[in-house]
Amino acid sequence: MTMRTYEYFACPNGHQGEEKTTENDQPYSKCWESISIKGLRNGPYGSYLCEVCGLLMSRVPKPSA
């Protein structure tokens, strides 16, 4: 079984991004983890920058549909 975890981010200008972590949580099988990002760029010291304007992203609650 694969477990997915989502973290949501926004910059001061209101642009939004998402980090999806996918990992194997099945017993007796090889452990692995994959992280994909959308609307984000890697920043300094493990932070994320906005893909549109380059400002620092902050964690935010899940956006409403």
**Model-level pTM?**
0.85
| Long-range contacts formed by 12-19: CB under 8 A, 24+ apart | 12/55, 13/50, 13/52, 13/53, 13/55, 15/39, 15/50, 15/51, 15/52, 15/53, 16/60, 16/63, 17/48, 17/50, 17/51, 17/57, 19/48
pLDDT in tens, 23-51: 998 888 888 999 999 999 999 998 999 99
Q: What is the pLDDT of residue 54?
A: 93
Which range of residues forms the domain containing residue 20?
2-60
Does residue 40 form part of some domain? yes
Of 18, 27, 28, 30, the closest CA to residue 57 belongs to 18
Q: Compute the average pLDDT of residues 47-65.
A: 92
Number of structural domains in the chain? 1
pLDDT band at 64 (very low <50, low <70, confident <90, very high): confident
Does residue 41 form part of some domain? yes
Does residue 65 form part of some domain? no
